[in-house]
Amino acid sequence: MNVRTTPLSEGWHWKERDPARQSVLDEVPRLQQSFRTGLNPSWTSVRSFPSEIHVELLKNGRIPDPFVGFNEHKCLIGVGEREWLYYLAFPFESRGGNEQVEFVFEGLDTICDVYLNYKKILSADNMFRTYSVSLKSESLHSEDNKLLLHFKSAKVIAKQLEARYGRVRAGSTNLGDPSRVYVRKAQYGWRWDWGPELMTCGPYRPINFIAYSVRLASIYPHASVSPSPALSPALGVDVMLAGDASAASAVKVVLVDAEGDVMIKEEHLDLALLRAAKRDVEFKNVVNWSLDNAVQLWWPVGYGEQKLYTVEVVLLAQDSTVLDRQRKRIGFRRVELVQEPLEEADRHGQGTTFLFEINGVRMFMGGSNWIPADSFLTELTPARYRAWLTLLRDGNQNMVRLWGGGVYEPDVFYDTCDELGLLVWQDFQFACGVYPAHHAFVASVRDEAADNVKRLRHHPSIALFCGNNEDYQQVLQWGGITELPARLIYEDVLPSVVAELTDPPIPYHRGSPYGGKGWDTTDPTVGDIHQWDIWAGRERPWQEYGVMGGRFVSEFGIPAMPDIRTVDYWLAGNSKERWAQSKLMTQHNRAGNHERRFAILMNENFRLTSDLETHIYNTQLMQSEAVSFAYRMWRREWRGRGKEFTAGALVWQLNDCWPVTSWAIADYFLRPKPAYYSIARELAPIAVSIFRTVIKNRDNDRPKQFYEFGAFQSVAANIEVWATNSTLEPHSVRLVLQSADLSSLWTHTEIHDVVVHPNQSTELLSMPCPCPPPIKSDDHPMTTSHSIVVGARLEDPITGEILTRCADWPQPYRLVDVPDPNLEVHVEDERIQVKAQRPVKCLVFSVLGDEDQSEVKWSHNALDLMPGDTQILMASGLGKRKLQVAYFGKEKATLV
């Protein structure tokens, strides 16, 4: 009797729970044909399944788009505090015998009672669980089986639990109501400092109905690789059967390559065990293959190919007919989190490393933090997931951290990471709060962790499981909290689940950030840190990022406004609110104290403006300069074996869940901000960098890279030039150092032949900043370096190919007088050639009037130009659209 799996995805209806009815079962239609004849006006057909109630209401015109204007507020009490029902009638044809049936609910959001034919079969209270309910086939009818899902208000129940267990601290006021910690629901739905309050509910992931006598409950192919230098791959496969195991005869295991060719096939395993087994049994290592020379290793992007293989397990009956089959795609790689003493100290002290070693190679991790890419998870298609992750990969990033206030993403996310070579740092879903540890809560979390570790453990992209986001850190920041009950979860439950269920073991880290003594989450010499002293915290200048690193910086960032088209989307034609500090702009900026924090950084660095487009450009330039500077300085600290002072930096954040001003480097509509492109340049396999130190005429000078034309004046400036190389080979290159004066036509060029060492940074030059002789004048600074732009590029000495570029401009930008660059732009089909006679900062290309057309994909953008250095970029999808440019000094886009 083969397994029959039926997706329950058609024929659903929904309605609001009628509180006047005493029993929810009174809501179930007594006659299914009443739907077909239109006799049930209170029930509405589901538009798409899986489903969320906000999406249904929106598609049926019952609520306005909460992403536009102030509409979010119209969806709060009217939706999130009410109860909602989903109903399905379906037939079932029993085959008799020992057949049993099983409902598999892959995701119910969140508090849900499930009824089948008027009997409750499940009470779910964890959005992150996969719930399975097994029944006898006699429980179903031949037709018109009634399945009812009753979703209760997570918001209301959270307050009831808070009244029972006590009010705790859980983030600041812009991180939602603290009662959220008591409900295992995506925490960002309560509101976050970048997202709206939209309390969703519904069957947000698939529901399957399975009928069988015996089936493959799960398979676990554990692909292992021995330590370096051997790096020998091996494969074991564990099989879990559900139902009457004696009805099966054999298991067949097949290993298939990416082209579909069978590499290894083995049949008729464990026959005696299968015949002896009665019900629900697990078989460990039904195969245990050594695969030397048979398979190739999986490598992260930039280090090799992403070789993937498929393991297929087939369950056979006595007559060799197929009862069931499952497939999982795997890759062979070895991942280790290395925390060992450094050979020497840096500015912070000695301490230990916090680095990832893949297949014996230590790698610098440059990447992004990921939040859910939509407030409504059912709106995320596989194509949209791929677009986001491809954007990340194409930006030279190699790691994505799934933040602990969202969800464990669906399989397509991790499948795509496997294909693209992106390593995944996976937080368990706890964020910024004092979570409880009473028995029922811990038991639910244990099951949640087991469900998701089992689902994700075979992916080669999974590099780390992490216990929580900032729970230790926030307790320390708040003060006055002496106990964190959920330490039981982070330090016992979760690590034990990961250890028990992963083979080979996947590294576990108890929290992010974490590492120091006594829960210290700010020690830069151990573990990971979140660097928020810039923008938040102490609100330091971004130019101090270089001295504020750590062994691994897993969060840092500066916000910026999105593309002006995205701003106009939420404005929806409201011209009265189309200014930077309007009520509607504030509605779409959730960052705490954002008015004050933006004002500090913007006033320090840029000239004030009342023009919205100029203001948007300046916020984006600020973000681009700040975060790329952080990557530049921290990647420099990857100095070679035993000197891995900083082994990774993950910007907060890659994406948005709605149209908003936030830390995202690409907005909700996948429109990259300039920061995306500047980060890509900093994380290129080979990158060149410059750092300028200004010397003032007094010892007590101001922050580095700041010029001040007041009580203190600059008397000189030094520059340091270095290169970073993530490849495993040394490169002999030509360093071209070009300087240009913004105040005159003076230029200077010098050339050096240098060697860039493999898998580390290499110091190239340290010298006075080139500049013309000072002019003797009472009103002129004591040095002319204040107006010098220094550019560097690395060239292949044989072919002349330019491998990498950078430019260092004087700061702050509000004091820089920008000349007309005499820009020259030539367009041929989708190829754009650009050059200038004077330096250009952050040249941004866009197109005019493309709201109803597909986005143009730019190979590069937000360019820095040096005089005479021609740059070429591709604009995929440009077509006949009109090209626009904006740059520092001419921030409003104009036609080319």
CA distance 776 to 238: 81
Residue 277 has a pLDDT of 64
Residues 6+ apart with CB under 8 A from 440: none
Q: CATH topology of 213-330 equal to that of 684-809?
A: yes
Q: Are strands 831-835 and 262-266 parallel, antiparallel or unpaired?
A: unpaired
Label residue 121 exposed, middle or buried (CB < 10 Å: 0-12, 13-18, 19+). middle
Query: What CA–CA distance (Å, rounded) separates 741 from 868?
Result: 14
Cα–Cα nearest to 214, from 255, 268, 275, 270: 275
Q: Which of 628-642, 664-678, 689-703 is least confident?
A: 689-703
CA-angle at 216, arms to 210 and 218, nearest 5°: 105
Q: Tell me, what's the pLDDT at 537?
A: 79
Least confident among 38-42, 72-76, 438-442, 687-691: 38-42
Contacts of 597 (CB under 8 A, 6+ apart): 535, 536, 539, 591
In order, the DSSP letters of 827-888 are EETTEEEEE-SS-EEEEEEEESS-TTSPPPEESS-SEEE-TT--EEEEEET-TTPPEEEEET
pLDDT at 856: 94
655 touches 688 (CB < 8 A) = no
pLDDT bracket for residue 74 (50, 70, 90): confident
Q: What is the CATH number of domain 684-809?
A: 2.60.40.10
Higher pLDDT, 451 or 772: 451
Q: For 200-211, what is the mean pLDDT? A: 97
CATH no. for 353-682: 3.20.20.80
pLDDT above 60 (res 38): no
Q: Taking residues 419-442, report their average pLDDT.
A: 97
For the chain, the structural domain boundaries read 4-209, 213-330, 353-682, 684-809, 818-896
Q: How far apart are CA 403 and CA 425, in angstroms?
A: 8
Mean pLDDT of 234-247: 91
- Predicted confidence at residue 621, as pLDDT, reads 98
Predicted local distance difference test score (pLDDT) of residue 799: 95
Place of tokens 């995506």: 186
Burial of 86 (0-12, 13-18, 19+ CB in 10 A): buried
**Residue-level pLDDT at 706:** 64
Closest among 118, 184, 181 to 150, alpha carbons compared: 118
- pLDDT for residue 263: 82
CATH H-level superfamily of 818-896 = Immunoglobulins (2.60.40.10)
- How do residues 258-285 score in pLDDT, each as one tens digit? 888 888 887 666 556 666 666 778 888 8
Note the pTM of the prediction, 2 decimals: 0.96
- What contacts 24+ positions apart, CB below 8 Å, involve 68-73? 68/569, 68/570, 68/572, 69/570, 69/571, 69/572, 69/574, 69/584, 69/587, 70/584, 70/587, 72/196, 72/197, 72/198, 72/587
- Average pLDDT value for residue range 821-825: 96
Question: Using one digit for the tens of pLDDT, what is the confidence trace for 674-733?
Answer: 999 999 999 999 999 999 998 887 777 665 666 666 667 788 899 999 999 999 999 999
> What is the pLDDT at residue 219?
96
Q: Catalytic annotation on 357?
A: no
Indicate the range of 499-513, 640-654, 702-716, 823-837 predicted with least confidence: 702-716
**Residue pair 446/497 in contact by the 8 Å Cβ criterion:** yes
Q: Alpha-carbon distance 286 to 38, whole Å?
A: 54
For residue 458, pLDDT over 60 is answered with yes
Name the pairing type of β-strands 731-741 and 747-756.
Answer: antiparallel
Is 330:255 a contact under the CB 8 Å cutoff? no
588 pLDDT higher than 70: yes
pLDDT tens digits, one per residue of 96-108: 778 899 999 999 9
Q: What is the pLDDT of residues 834-868, one digit of tens each?
A: 999 999 999 999 998 766 678 999 999 999 999 99
Length of the chain: 896
Mean pLDDT value of segment 799-807: 96
Question: Which residue would you say has higher pLDDT here, 66 or 258?
Answer: 66
Give the mean model confidence (pLDDT) for residues 355-384. 98
Average pLDDT over residues 397-415: 98
Give the CATH superfamily of 4-209: Galactose-binding domain-like (2.60.120.260)
Residue 478: band (very low, low, confident or very high) from pLDDT cuts 50, 70, 90:
confident
Task: Give the whole-angstrom CA distance, residue 713 versus residue 825.
Answer: 38
Residues 528, 553 contacting (CB under 8 angstroms):
yes
Q: Name the strand (E) or helix (H) holding 625.
A: helix 612-636
54-76 b/e (C-beta count within 10 Å ≥ 16 → b)? bbbbbeeeebbebbbbebbeebb
Q: Using DSSP, state whether 748 is helix, strand or coil.
A: strand
- Candidate list 52, 336, 419, 470, residue with the active-site label: 470
At residue 32, does pLDDT exceed 80?
Answer: no
pLDDT at 711: 65
Amino acid at position 551, single letter: R
Report CA-CA distances (Å) from 143 to 35, 98, 105: 15, 20, 21
Asked which of 409-418, 538-547, 640-649, 750-759 is least confident by mean pLDDT, the reply is 538-547
Counting residues of the chain whose pLDDT is more than 90, the rounded percentage is 81
Say if residue 288's pLDDT is above 80. Answer: yes
545 DSSP 8-state letter: G
Residue 306 DSSP symbol: B
* Measured distance CA(175)–CA(167) in Å, rounded: 15
| Token pair of 411 as six digits | 């399989």
Contact 474, 169 (CB under 8 A): yes
d(CA 281, CA 158): 38
Q: Residue 503 is encoded by which pair of tokens?
A: 């083979």
Checking if the pLDDT of 46 tops 70, the result is yes
SS3 53: helix
End-to-end CA distance of the chain: 69
On the 0-12 / 13-18 / 19+ scale of CB atoms within 10 A, 113 is: middle
At 282, phi and psi to the nearest 5?
A: -115, 135
pLDDT at 381 over 60: yes
pLDDT of residue 276: 64
- Tell which CATH classification among 3.40.50.720, 2.30.38.10, 2.60.40.10, 3.40.50.980 matches the domain 213-330: 2.60.40.10
The span from the CA of 147 to the CA of 121, in Å, is: 10
Give the span between the Cα atoms of 100 and 640, in whole angstroms: 59
Identity at 302, one-letter amino acid code: G
Question: What whole-number distance in Å separates Cα of residue 570 and Cα of residue 588?
Answer: 8
Cβ 251 vs Cβ 283: under 8 Å: yes
| Strands in 361-422 per DSSP E | 361-363, 365-370, 399-402
User: What pLDDT band is residue 737 in, cutting at 50, 70 and 90?
Assistant: very high
Which of 212-216, 694-698, 784-788 is most confident? Answer: 212-216
Query: pLDDT (tens digit, 9 = 90+) per residue, 501-511?
Result: 999 999 999 99
Predicted pLDDT of residue 262: 86
Quickly list DSSP for 322-346. Answer: EEEEEEEEE----EEEE--B-SS-B
State the average pLDDT over residues 877-892: 95
Q: Dihedral through CA 678, CA 680, CA 682, CA 685, nearest 10?
A: -160
Of the candidate ranges 477-481, 587-591, 623-627, 841-845, the one whose mean pLDDT is the lowest: 477-481
- The pLDDT of residue 701 is 64
Average pLDDT over residues 205-211: 97
pLDDT over 70 for what percent of the chain? 95
